Amino acid sequence: MDLITDEGWAAFLAATEGHTPEPWRAGRADMATIVDGYDSKWIYAGNKYVAIASSQDIKCWKTVMANAYLIEGAPAMRTEIARLRARVAMLEEARP
């Protein structure tokens, strides 16, 4: 999906409607879970596991955790981008 276009953003919103509510948390960086033989980091919302960042193809734990934190922030980023897009639209309408 091209999130830059209005159509792409609308498709993204539709596809992600009903996602598990935030906050999502990646947990402690000093703890890994072995999943399918790879160090991994679960991302959870409350007591629900919602995603996983895996070292299957990424050998650097710092990169795995960066991916986990990006996933952790996804719901809040979705909300903020929607707010900013609405603000931009309002400002564009107010332009003389």
Report the domain count for the chain. 1
- The answer to whether residue 5 is domain-embedded is no
- Domain extent, residue 41, equals 21-94
Q: Are 19 and 77 in contact (CB under 8 A)?
A: no
Which tokens hold the place of 96? 């003389």
- The answer to whether residue 69 is domain-embedded is yes
- The answer to whether residue 12 is domain-embedded is no
pLDDT over 90 (residue 4) = no
Give the residue-averaged pLDDT of 14-41. 93
Q: How large is the greatest C-alpha to C-alpha distance in the chain, in angstroms?
A: 60
β-pairing verdict for 48-54 and 33-35: unpaired
| Non-local CB neighbours of 96 within 8 Å, separated by 6+ positions | none
Look up the pTM and report it.
0.83
- The answer to whether residue 2 is domain-embedded is no
